[in-house]
Structure 1
């Protein structure tokens, strides 16, 4: 079993990274730069998460044509600490892969890149985290069902002698089919292993959901995870986390001292369940997730007594004729239907508001010609963010296409200007070849960029001929090579290649004779 370690966030995806679902065809219109990741067997579409020690990419596994999230552990230093980190990364992935439960994140592949970096290809979870799905769990039965499913997943983890230690809404994710997934085992540890790296400055779990013993750095058992589940259930029922204070210390003190708040009358039947889940002492809690699941299954919401329709004693109930009763009811029904229709037509969810805000920012980026820079404040970035929230948003798709078209035009213009200056392949990142190639990377059939590449090859041809006329065989050879890299099948350049090769031996003899005479003069003097 692998050793305990501080927060690494190696397997689980971050909140922002896990709620996305990007269309591969849209990403292909914006190719990656040369510094981006290449993994054999995968088409990498782009980065969706970045951390201090790992990066997350959205990719398509080519053999099965399925979306995956690839997490790469970046190693800068190759020392003993990095070796331990590598081992932890791989062992942790193997552990998660060994778990067989629909509510645990699925690992598809574990391997190493050519440069020595390790990566994990895992299930791509696109339905967002719990905070983004709260409306589905406002009702008590919905909340209980969610906690039960997470407990079933945790039971499998606990059976392997592992404590998760970071159960919180951000680590509870949802697939597109609405099923729940527990992720982020970055600070999980063995039940019997009391070692830790908290002294080295690693944070240990989220204080808002940590058990009293966890906030105090004491020894933990599996009931610490059950406590965290209790906090989540309480938050779902009340609409807020009653233990969350104004500071890290305040929150920790609340977990240690503050009793479980009294539930509203309609939720009082859940008080015994929460009391055991949130007991301050680990021994007073449910001792396993299996027992917690059974307790949840035995909870039954009390039935609400039917409202009485009999008239009070001493009063007579004079009923109206049916025809008179139905008219106001029909009128009220009509008003209610109209109200609901208006609400449905005008309702704008928080996600819709965010999408509209991002689209406005993207359009502003287009107007100000901020196509891909500055980072995270450009048109392409905002359109992509929209697609993270709505993978079929036509406005964002059209916007990305517009960004691509404008970038191509911009690169062609810059390439033409560099060609006029004579900057064929220098300076780096600001020459004709660079700009035309960038344009063709976005639009492989762009006629202007293709014509520009032809002009670059022609200029190399002209320079090579000029070098031959001046007897500069080395210069001619250099320009022919560069031209053939641009247009490998160019007949004129291929002909020049033969001519240079024929003259090269004579040139070498001339250089040798010249240097020989110079050396004789130096020796005589």
Structure 2
């Protein structure tokens, strides 16, 4: 049956207004109350798993009571057995269609606060939304925001989900790093998605969005959070916590997030402002003959001009070196060729002036650009599948090089996590296929990358338990011999 001529007892169906991966949405009038409603009708309704997911969504939303969560009016079935949900109809469009309303920071923060309040109710029920994005935020006529579409929501403590093969789990542009990697999720994944929306509204674009789903996912995992424009700098700490790469470093609840937003919306709250310069005295202290004032004025002017224009030989050399260093940065000559690179010139400046702030800042920029380069090459190697080979041109090499320069770099650490997770996935697959040798090899490779990885350690224990005693003895003896040979060589 098609839904082109949809008929539902008690409703006058006007026509389709939307379509998703699982369902179609129609505008209708509920005749008993003469109110407009949106009716979401499940497609492929004979699939038991689809039905379960659809009804779970309806029952869950109906159990919530919050002005920032869509309201469910009715749950039932069509004559052919297809399920439908009648819900609150909002004709204001979604967030992506209403961006002009949210150009000022205060309006944006109020929007984020409202959705956080709705999510707090969702999370209190032990559910993660998993698809917080502009298309799932509807706007009422009064400008208030409403969260909708819980089609891929899941229990916090339930590792299984009802996501069907072929359907994406969340939207890549707003997915958290752990979601992009298929790792276990907690409620902070929704806070991350909300943080991406905040960043996008402030900047006018989504800096994580790449040309492909894969590149977008890698950007969430590895790309550093861009700095906000100066006028929004006071919001940087809020964004830093919402968009932390590691879940444990984010706000741990939406209530905590709301508490952090409230002072930013309070016009009476104290904010950090640049110190006001002390006004110059209106007149010279003491008494002075009037005829000397013009003379002193000329002398002072000449003195100031001389002070501003005089430059010693050392200062000229420092300025020359700083210019060469900046040119090296612009041309990508960070540490090579020898004696003609940015790092070399900044170090030469420090030999002449040990506390030169431009040189110290420049060296820090060189290191940061090196780290960013290694992380970017690591991401490219990861996408190519060059995980640990070829030598010096693989993802592991690049991430470790980045960490050698900045030991707590979040993008490189996330890359290491992703490598370990990939070898864990491979080992688990081989184990399920009964190939113990390959499972053991991938487990050891993963542990070589991340020795304290709990999942890999558990896999090694499981593999050892399943491996025949004779085979394990040969493997262990061979391993010891190879270590001895490697040590001797």
Deviations 1:67-93 (A, max 9, x none): 0011111346x4xxx123223212220
Look up the match of 1:522. none
Q: Aligned to 1:229, what secondary structure does the other structure show?
A: helix
Describe how 1:497-508 pairs up with structure 2 within 5 A. Answer: none
Q: Aligned to 1:99, what secondary structure does the other structure show?
A: coil
Task: Note if contact 2:199-2:239 (Cα within 8 Å) is conserved in structure 1.
Answer: yes
Match of 2:130 among 140, 150, 165: 165
Change (3 A) 1:234 1:128: same
Match of 2:82 among 88, 94, 117: 117
Look up the match of 1:106. 71
For the residues of structure 1 that align with 2:83 and 2:128, how far apart are their CA atoms? 24
Say if 2:56 is the partner of 1:87. Answer: no
For the residues of structure 2 that align with 1:140 and 1:155, how far apart are their CA atoms? 22
For the residues of structure 2 that align with 1:309 and 1:212, how far apart are their CA atoms? 48
Look up the match of 1:182. 147
Q: Aligned to 1:273, what secondary structure does the other structure show?
A: helix
Task: Note if contact 2:210-2:216 (Cα within 8 Å) is conserved in structure 1.
Answer: yes
For the residues of structure 2 that align with 1:111 and 1:201, how far apart are their CA atoms? 27
For the residues of structure 1 that align with 2:106 and 2:230, how far apart are their CA atoms? 16
For the residues of structure 2 that align with 1:121 and 1:215, how far apart are their CA atoms? 32
For the residues of structure 2 that align with 1:217 and 1:35, how far apart are their CA atoms? 37
Match of 2:40 among 68, 71, 81: 71
Look up the match of 2:26. 57
Change (3 A) 1:233 1:164: same
For the residues of structure 2 that align with 1:302 and 1:51, how far apart are their CA atoms? 44
Match of 2:108 among 143, 150, 155: 143
For the residues of structure 2 that align with 1:198 and 1:60, how far apart are their CA atoms? 32
Deviations 1:240-298 (A, max 9, x none): 11111222111111111112111222222111111111111100111000000001112
Task: Note if contact 2:159-2:184 (Cα within 8 Å) is conserved in structure 1.
Answer: yes
Match of 1:222 among 187, 200, 222: 187
Task: Note if contact 2:21-2:167 (Cα within 8 Å) is conserved in structure 1.
Answer: no
Look up the match of 2:13. 44
Look up the match of 1:262. 227
For the residues of structure 2 that align with 1:309 and 1:241, how far apart are their CA atoms? 42
Change (3 A) 1:301 1:176: farther
Change (3 A) 1:198 1:41: closer
Greater RCO, CA 8 A, separation 6+:
1
Look up the match of 2:241. 276
Deviations 1:143-172 (A, max 9, x none): 111111100000000000000000011111
Match of 1:155 among 120, 125, 128: 120
Q: Aligned to 2:98, what secondary structure does the other structure show?
A: helix
Q: Aligned to 1:39, what secondary structure does the other structure show?
A: coil
Alignment: residue pair count: 279
Describe how 1:233-252 pairs up with structure 2 within 5 A. Answer: 233-252=198-217
For the residues of structure 1 that align with 2:190 and 2:154, how far apart are their CA atoms? 12
Task: Note if contact 1:44-1:57 (Cα within 8 Å) is conserved in structure 2.
Answer: yes
How much does 1:301 deviate? 7.5
Task: Note if contact 1:269-1:301 (Cα within 8 Å) is conserved in structure 2.
Answer: no
How much does 1:140 deviate? 1.4
Q: Aligned to 2:25, what secondary structure does the other structure show?
A: strand
Task: Note if contact 1:129-1:173 (Cα within 8 Å) is conserved in structure 2.
Answer: yes
Q: Aligned to 1:200, what secondary structure does the other structure show?
A: coil
Describe how 1:117-516 pairs up with structure 2 within 5 A. Answer: 117-196=82-161, 200-299=165-264, 300=269, 302=271
Look up the match of 1:455. none
For the residues of structure 2 that align with 1:266 and 1:301, how far apart are their CA atoms? 16
Cα RMSD of the aligned pairs, angstroms, is 2.6
The runs of 5 or more residues in structure 1 that have no matched partner are: 1-32, 316-525
For the residues of structure 2 that align with 1:61 and 1:161, how far apart are their CA atoms? 32
Look up the match of 1:361. none
TM-score, L = length of structure 1: 0.50
For the residues of structure 2 that align with 1:209 and 1:228, how far apart are their CA atoms? 5
Task: Note if contact 1:173-1:181 (Cα within 8 Å) is conserved in structure 2.
Answer: yes
Change (3 A) 1:133 1:314: farther
Deviations 1:363-382 (A, max 9, x none): xxxxxxxxxxxxxxxxxxxx
Out of 231-240 and 43-52, give the one that drifted further: 43-52
Deviations 1:107-153 (A, max 9, x none): 00111122211111000111011122112221111111111110000
